[in-house]
């Protein structure tokens, strides 16, 4: 029955298409260069407008919809799968140079809806709506039973480890005394030795390490026009004694780059909204509901809606009953979702 309906719809398609003077362009496929270009712009926008955590890279274009608005004016809706990279958002190196976090490191995935406008050939982002979450522990364990897993950012061992690591750095550096901005991620290994792996963002204060040791309260983060952010990775052993190996890198002053935090207190490195979570959620920086096609006021014109129904029916017909398919009818590959750039979660 479904097949019959599909065939009837298909048979009618040319008639429908013959009516308008300028037929709508063929639907954009998720791997089309145009979709890729829009996704690249969207991902840069998402990273530029994120306030916490890491930069994300495109893993897959899940869906793309183009809605003509008038001459030389289109709205695009993208659904994107992203993966966390190793670059903190304060890291100035371009996204292309940022390594995607491996599956074994307990990957974090982002899901984003992005609305863009293409006006006279100029593409711009209108709105973004995202959330991000860590892969399930079961997934990681299945592939890598001994891999340390992400721990909640307010875990006591994590907090102790970060404090020990920063203390270790400040105790030996010849540079500025560093203060904690935020903990980015933390994992704990239980076998064969108990180890805590942490990553955290820091900022230089106006104190030398020596001055900081003597009177930490007098050390202030540098003012905006001199700010100097950085990032540390550390491995902390807790047994038999607390021992921290830490590596910190300062990025140098980046004009215009600020770090926003609700309170002035940078001692804890934990915003209230990450308490109990293993990652900074993209939702906190990207929550515009207009970004989703479903909740947007832009509805497809009837012609496009009919076309997409027919397209879906054609794909279904091809998938469900190959025997009925007329000889020589080669269905086009489904245009979405697109290829996976890194790995599937
Ligand atoms: C980024 O990668 C490119 C190509 O590998 C390289 O030429 C460039 O120097 C890198 N840039 C930075 C800032 O690391
Ligand atoms: C750092 O700045 C604070 C506030 O401006 C000031 O009180 C303090 O003396 C400065 N510390 C150093 C070592 O310059
Ligand atoms: C972390 O935060 C959550 C949510 O606020 C809380 O339930 C939990 O007890 C906290 N864990 C620790 C170790 O403080």
Domains located in the chain, CATH noted? 25-146+279-299+338-345 (3.10.450.10), 152-259+266-277 (3.10.450.10)
Model confidence at 267: pLDDT above 80: no
Taking the CA of residue 97 as reference, the ligand 1 atom at the shortest distance is 1
Over residues 295-318, mean pLDDT: 48
Does residue 337 carry a pLDDT above 90? yes
Ligand 1 nearest-atom number relative to CA 94: 13
> In the chain, which residue ranges form alpha helices assigned H by DSSP?
2-18, 33-48, 137-143, 156-172, 209-214, 302-320
Distance 97 CA to ligand 1 centre (A): 6
Quote the CA–CA distance of 35 and 40 in Å, as a whole number.
9
The verdict on the CB of residue 207 being under 6 Å from ligand 2 is: yes
Task: Please check the confidence at residue 162 and state whether its pLDDT lies above 70.
Answer: yes
Q: Rounded distance, CA 339 to CA 58, Å?
A: 11
Confidence of residue 213 (pLDDT cuts 50, 70, 90): confident
Residue 275, pLDDT above cutoff 90:
no
Segments in 49-89 forming alpha helices (H): none
At 103 the pLDDT is 95
Ligand nearest to the CA of 205: 2
Structure confidence by residue, pLDDT tens digits, 23-54: 666 788 999 999 999 999 999 999 999 999 99
Q: Is the CB of 97 under 6 A from ligand 1?
A: yes
- How far apart, in whole angstroms, are the C-alpha atoms of residue 68 and residue 61? 20
Q: For the stretch 44-75, what's the b/e string if a residue is b when 16 or more beta carbons lie within 10 angstroms of its beta carbon?
A: ebbbeebbbbbbbbbbbbbbbbbbbeeeeebb
Ligand 2 centroid vs 176 CA: distance in angstroms?
Answer: 13
DSSP state for residue 107 in the 8-state scheme: -
Residue showing tokens 């020596």: 210
Q: Is 62 in the pocket of ligand 2 (CB under 6 A)?
A: no
Q: What is the mean pLDDT of residues 47-73?
A: 95
User: Using one digit for the tens of pLDDT, what is the confidence trace for 249-259?
Assistant: 999 999 999 99
Torsion of CA 95, 143, 53, 130, to 10 degrees: 80
Q: Whole-number mean pLDDT of the chain? A: 85
What is the value of pTM for the model shown? 0.83
The predicted pLDDT at position 328 comes to: 64
Q: Please state whether beta strands 176-189 and 149-150 pair in parallel, antiparallel, or not at all (unpaired).
A: antiparallel
Q: Residue 220: CB within 6 Å of ligand 3?
A: no
Nearest ligand to the CA of 276 is 3
Q: How confident is the model at residue 111 (pLDDT cuts 50, 70, 90)?
A: very high
CA 15 to chain centre: 43
Ordered DSSP codes for 158-196: HHHHHHHHHHHHHHH-SSEEEEEEEEEEEEEE-SSS-EE
Q: Report the pLDDT value the prediction gives residue 13, as an integer from 0 to 100.
A: 46
Q: What is the pLDDT of residue 24?
A: 62
Atom index in ligand 1 nearest the CA of residue 92 equals: 13
């Amino acid at each position: 029955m479904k097949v019959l309906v599909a065939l009837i719809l298909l048979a009618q398609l040319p008639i429908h298409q013959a009516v308008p003077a300028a037929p709508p362009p063929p639907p954009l496929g998720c791997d089309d260069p145009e979709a890729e270009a829009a996704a690249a712009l969207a991902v840069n926008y998402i990273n530029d407008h994120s306030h916490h955590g890491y930069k994300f890279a495109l893993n897959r274009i899940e869906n793309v919809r183009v809605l003509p608005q008038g001459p030389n004016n289109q709205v695009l809706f993208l659904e994107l799968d992203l993966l966390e990279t190793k670059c903190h958002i304060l890291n100035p190196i371009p996204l292309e140079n940022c390594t995607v976090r491996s599956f074994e490191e307990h990957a974090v995935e982002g899901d984003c809806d992005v609305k863009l406008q293409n006006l006279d050939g100029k593409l711009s982002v209108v709105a973004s709506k995202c959330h991000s979450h860590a892969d399930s522990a079961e997934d990681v364990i299945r592939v890598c039973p001994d891999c340390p897993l992400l721990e909640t950012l307010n875990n006591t061992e994590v907090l102790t480890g970060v404090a020990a690591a920063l203390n270790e750095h400040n105790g030996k550096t010849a540079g500025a005394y560093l203060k904690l901005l935020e903990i980015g991620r933390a994992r704990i290994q239980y076998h064969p030795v108990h180890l805590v792996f942490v990553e955290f963002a820091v900022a230089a204060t106006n104190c030398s390490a020596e001055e900081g040791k003597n009177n930490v309260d007098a050390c202030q983060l540098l003012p905006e026009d001199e700010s100097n952010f950085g990032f540390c990775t550390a491995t902390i052993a807790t047994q038999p004694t607390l021992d921290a190996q830490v590596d910190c890198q300062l990025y140098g002053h980046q004009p215009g780059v600020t770090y926003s935090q609700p309170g002035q207190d940078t001692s804890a490195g934990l915003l209230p909204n990450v308490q109990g979570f293993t990652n900074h959620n993209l939702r906190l920086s990207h929550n515009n509901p207009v970004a989703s096609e479903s909740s947007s006021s832009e509805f497809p014109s009837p012609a496009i809606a009919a076309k997409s129904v027919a397209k879906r029916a054609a794909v279904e017909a091809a998938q469900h009953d190959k025997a009925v398919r007329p000889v020589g009818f080669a269905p086009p590959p489904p245009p979405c979702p697109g290829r996976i750039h890194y790995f599937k979660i």
